[in-house]
Amino acid sequence: MALVITIAQQKGGAGKTMLAANLAAAWAATHRVALLDIDPQRSLKRWHALRTAHGRGTPIGFSDVSGWRLPTELDRLQREADIILIDTPPQIDADATRAIRAASLVLIPIQPSPPDLWAAEGTLILAAAERRRVALLLNRAPAKSRLRTAIENEINGRQLHLLAPALGNRTAYAQAFAQGMGVTETAPRTAAGVEFAALAEAVLETARA
């Protein structure tokens, strides 16, 4: 069975789509990876179209089937891929619930601020109800700040799993995304490439645990 990693967060702008694209690109060289875009904005679909049109990087499977056909599509993708990444809408709806229910791991990106952590509450409740494993990760995080430390302490105090690698606020991510690529492909030796490679490894280890 394929690993299903559902990326969910109710707050818009948390970086779900960027995260899905970069994880797919990071794993594509060694695994059969498929993306499932159920976010109505379909930004991940446009990223994949860029990648395909220009023949960039290792091929990655893609689907944007949603609604009542989603469970059947997930079954199909699980036969064709080793890892499935699902980009969900920024709200808890029927599709997001199905995606969380199917997940091996629910991945919640948050910026180090109280509103992002508050916005994750609904996803955390739903994942607990479905008995799904959850991991949080800090995105656009400063290397050090009192606010980051406070958010980390709150997450740890609630005994939630916070991935050790965090992502900084770097233009390299947007530059890679605009090319239909991942930062580990376009800039593997930069700070962004190195930190994302560490994150990709940590996500995979957590999903397999």
- At 91-110, the pLDDT tens digits run 888 999 999 999 999 999 99
- At 59-102, the pLDDT tens digits run 999 999 988 999 999 999 999 999 999 999 988 889 999 999 99
Percent of the chain with pLDDT over 90: 89
Instruction: Give the separation between CA 171 and CA 60, rounded to whole angstroms.
Output: 23
The whole-number average pLDDT for the span 171-200 is: 97
8 Å CB contact between 105 and 132: yes
Taking alpha carbons only, the member of 143, 147, 46, 31 closest to residue 85 is 31
Domains located in the chain, CATH noted: 3-208 (3.40.50.300)
Judge whether residue 1 has pLDDT over 90: no
Q: Is the dihedral of CA 66, 71, 72, 74 positive or negative?
A: positive
Q: What is the pLDDT of residue 101?
A: 95
Cα-based distances in Å from 77 to 44, 59, 74, 87, 187: 17, 15, 5, 14, 29
What the block records as the tokens of 7 is: 């990326």
pLDDT band for position 155 (cuts 50, 70, 90): very high
The whole-number average pLDDT for the span 188-194 is: 97
Q: What is the pLDDT of residue 57?
A: 85
Q: What is the pLDDT of residue 48?
A: 97
Judge whether residue 56 has pLDDT over 90: no
Judge whether residue 10 has pLDDT over 90: no
Instruction: Give the separation between CA 84 and CA 5, rounded to whole angstroms.
Output: 6
